[in-house]
Amino acid sequence: MGKELYTNIPSKVGDLISDVKNGRIGLPDLQRPFVWKDNKVRDLLDSMLRGFPIGYIMLWESPADYDRTSHIGKNDKAYKAPDDLVIDGQQRLTALLAAMEGVPIKDKNYKERTIKIAFNPINRDFKVWSQAYERSAEYISSVSEVYAADREHAVTKFRKQYIKTVNDSRERNGEPLLTEDEEITIEDNINALLDLKVYSLPALRISAQADEEAVSEIFVRVNSGGQKLTEKNFIETLLAVFDNDVHDQIDKFCEASRIPVDGTAYNHILKVDPAHLIRVAVGYGFHRARLRYAYQLMRGKDLKTGIVTTATRDENLSKFKEALDIVTNLNNWHAYLNLFAQAGYINGDFVAATNAVVYCYVMYLIGKYEYKIKTADLNKIITKWIYMTTVTFLYSGSTESTVEGMFADLRDVKTPEEYVKYLEDFIAGRFTDDYFNVTLPKDLATSSTSSPAWLGYIAAINVLGTPMLFSTAILSKFLVPGASGTKNAIDRHHIFPKHYLEENGYSDDRDRNQVANYTYIDYATNIVISDRPPIEYVSEFRAKLGEEEYRRTCRENALPENFESLDYPTFLNERRKLMAGIIRQGYERLCL
């Protein structure tokens, strides 16, 4: 029989909550956005009150060989560092802390808020808090009030006040007062609510000797959903333990990326997640793309020898912190993100892959700090790099392998000129004649408005400063977030209207909604076109604009001459070629 890597620990909810509060158990989710909806928290409490099982908690014993001077959360805990880390059940424990103890959680924008679950001790009913339950005499507006009374040894007083409040309300409304049996029921149900602290929540404690592969395998085998733990889970947990200042630095930067205030990490391109910053710091600091390398580095593994030591861990962590300082430098961050706008991607909605933002930033920082490329030259090449990688969807699929290959190539790149040439040659290898003439038109044969090819076309229109169809208004001015206010000033419109196509036998939305059938037009033009056939509305605009202006607006918006006379399949085929040509023109403009 093999040596067991885990221990079953009979646990109670109250004990687990207490251990999290005093720091013996590390719960990193308290520092991260809480993803559960409030009604799921309500259901959790209801299941417990009904005696239903609510799963288990998986703990991972903290390594015994590190200096216990860090912890998760504020510096007011009995334990300087946790004995155990929560690997599975983080959301359950966070929900229980929030609902029962009133501990604030963070929403998706890193803003603190409280979760309030109302409780009716007459009928044992839980509800997500609302003003209606706040005003109701029969509902305790938040169960945390009951647990607070228990901590103050004032449950009897609390119960008597509740009964008085209900009776006063009933008397005002001319309703019967509580009966003796109902008062007994209230006492029983409040006690049942308090007894949730002794509710069994089994814990599986994995030995500190287990490596991340073993922990992940155990997780998969005992988790009925088959969900896997990722390197991201391990990295964030280890950072929270080994260096809480780094953990806080990452979380604060992520939070600031959601706050529209000058002097913060806020931007229109990406809401930063901790994994994004970890990837950039490891990519820039260690020239590694795989997150598993980041985890191994945090554990203290020498990637060349494979040996794990405390000294190596300290050295790697120091190097990681130095890289993170550069990554989170707001001057670097905003200067880099401005290049996305120069590349035509003025809004995060038009960036198909967040990995493009992450790894283009790595290349920017490497160029700036390692090769010390002049600012103007660096901005120009990285803008072109952003454009190419985003249009071609380079950072998708096997992204880590692609980037690892680039890092391997850079070992032979020694000078600023060689670095720029490396990127130029890479771009040329992707942006070939065959790509623009064959591959890209095929990529545009889609109805997905999130496809990189369609978004690349919009980026090209922005780079070229193209006015909208049948208009003198520059499209890019209306695509900046917030530019249109509460009412859209522009619309993505069908060139061959949907109703017209339906009447002509095109019943499938995938045919009618081809991206080659889309263009952006202003609100007034949209009203004029409506569902009219192209042959009808085109003649009106042609007469109004004049022949030369009409041809210009068609040419700049990738419309075949006399497109209104083409059959729909021919129109799509021809326009895809012209759209690919516009994308090429956008790149050529960036090369000037």
- Residue 349 within a domain: yes
Of 31-40, 65-74, 257-266, 352-361, which one has max mean pLDDT? 352-361
Q: How many domains does the chain fold into? A: 4
On whether both 348 and 373 belong to a single domain, the answer is yes
Say if residue 264 is in the same domain as residue 146.
no
Residue 491 CA to residue 142 CA, distance in Å, equals: 45
| Residue 15: domain span | 6-99+198-211+218-222
- Give me the percent of the chain exceeding a pLDDT of 70: 89
Query: Does residue 350 sit in the same domain as residue 326?
Result: yes
pLDDT score, position 31:
62
Candidates 550, 349, 379; CA nearest to 462 is 349
Distance (Å, whole) CA 60 – CA 219? 11
Give me the CATH number covering residue 88. 3.90.1530
Assign 194 to helix, strand or coil. helix
The whole-angstrom separation of Cα 218 and Cα 476 is: 51
Judge residue 343's burial from the number of C-beta atoms within 10 Å of its C-beta, 0-12 exposed, 13-18 middle, 19 or more buried: buried
* Residue 567 CB neighbours (<10 A): 9
Q: Strands 84-88 and 105-106, how do they pair?
A: unpaired
pLDDT for the residue 352? 86
Residue that terminates a domain, selected from 430, 457, 474: 430
pLDDT score of 223? 59
Q: Token pair 């076309």 is at which residue?
A: 457
- In this structure, which amino acid lies at residue 378? L
Secondary structure (3-state) at 472: coil
Same domain, 47 and 23: yes
> What whole-number distance in Å separates Cα of residue 23 and Cα of residue 26?
6
The count of residues in the chain is 592
- Please compute the mean of the pLDDT values over residues 330-355 and round it to a whole number: 93
Residue 306 corresponds to which amino acid?
Answer: G
Q: Are 520 and 469 in contact (CB under 8 A)?
A: yes
Work out the number of other CB atoms within 10 angstroms of the CB of residue 433.
8
Residues 418 and 442 in one domain: no
What is the phi/psi pair of residue 59, to 5°?
Answer: -110, 150
Structural contact between residues 196 and 48, judged by C-beta atoms closer than 8 angstroms: yes
- List, in sequence order, every residue forming a beta bridge with 58; answer none if it has no partner: 88, 204
Regarding predicted confidence, which is higher, 97 or 491?
97
- Which residue spans within 57-207 are E strands per DSSP? 57-61, 84-88, 105-106, 112-113, 117-120, 125-128, 203-206
What is the CB neighbour count within 10 angstroms for residue 409? 12
Mean of the per-residue pLDDT values of the chain:
88
Cα(163)–Cα(180) distance, integer angstroms:
11
Does residue 153 lie in a domain region? yes
**Cα separation, 203 vs 554, whole angstroms:** 67
- DSSP SS3 for 407: helix
pLDDT in tens, 246-281: 877 888 898 888 888 888 999 999 999 888 999 999
**Residues 327, 449 within the same domain:** no
Q: Are strands 25-26 and 490-494 parallel, antiparallel or unpaired?
A: unpaired
Q: Are 573 and 462 part of one and the same domain?
A: yes
CA 355/CA 397 separation, integer angstroms: 10
518-531 as b/e, with b when 16 or more CB fall inside 10 Å?
bbbbbeebeeebee
Q: Which residue, among 248, 189, 208, has the nearest Cα to 85 in the 3D structure?
A: 208
Structure tokens given for 324? 């993170």
Residue 342 lies in a domain: yes
Same domain, 328 and 452: no
pLDDT for the residue numbered 106: 84
CA nearest 298: which of 318, 328, 272, 277?
318
For residue 25, the model assigns a pLDDT of: 86
Task: Average the pLDDT over 484-509 and give the result.
Answer: 82
User: Partners of 85 in the beta sheet?
Assistant: 26, 60
Distance in angstroms (rounded) separating the CA atoms of residues 338 and 345: 9
CA distance 436 to 443: 10
Q: Looking at residues 136-158, what average pLDDT do you find?
A: 95
Q: Are 470 and 551 in contact (CB under 8 A)?
A: no
CB 61 within 8 A of CB 77: no
Q: How confident is the model at residue 237 (pLDDT cuts 50, 70, 90)?
A: low
Looking at the structure, tell me whether residues 89 and 69 fall in a common domain. yes
Residue 235: pLDDT over 80: no
Examine the domain organization and report whether 299 and 363 are in the same domain.
yes
- Asked if pLDDT for residue 2 goes beyond 60, the answer is no
Domain membership of residue 111 (yes or no) is no
Looking at the fold, whether 180 and 206 belong to one and the same domain comes out as no
> In which band, very low, low, confident or very high, does the pLDDT at 142 lie, cut at 50, 70 and 90?
very high
Sign of the four-CA dihedral 288, 292, 297, 301: negative
Q: Is residue 110 part of a domain?
A: no
Question: Going along 443-505, which residue ranges are E strands?
Answer: 490-494
Position 162, amino acid: Y
- Identify how many contiguous H helices and E strands the chain contains and give both numbers: 28, 11
Query: What is residue 517's DSSP assignment?
Result: G
Pair (94, 132) in one structural domain: no
Interatomic CA distance for residues 265 and 262, integer angstroms:
8
Cα angle for residues 66, 67, 68 (degrees, 5° grid): 105
Pairing mode of beta strands 203-206, 57-61: parallel
User: pLDDT tens digit string along 88-109?
Assistant: 888 899 999 999 999 998 887 7
Q: Is residue 540 part of a domain?
A: yes
What is the C-alpha to C-alpha distance for residues 291 and 389, in angstroms, rounded to an integer? 21
Which DSSP state fits 136? -
Q: How far apart are CA 586 and CA 391, in angstroms?
A: 11
pLDDT score at 202:
87
Q: Of 377, 412, 430, which residue is a domain's last?
A: 430
What are the tokens at 415? 């000078």
CB atoms under 10 Å from CB of 358, counted, come to 23
**What pLDDT score does 226 carry?**
46
pTM equals: 0.76
Max CA separation in the chain (angstroms): 91
Is residue 175 domain-resident?
yes
pLDDT for position 462: 96
CB 528 within 8 A of CB 439: no
Q: Which among 325, 430, 424 has a CA at the least distance from the CA of 378? A: 424
Q: For residue 108, is it within any domain?
A: no
- Per-residue tokens: 465: 């400063």
Question: For the CA atoms of 488, 493, 498, 499, what is the dihedral angle to 10 degrees?
Answer: 60
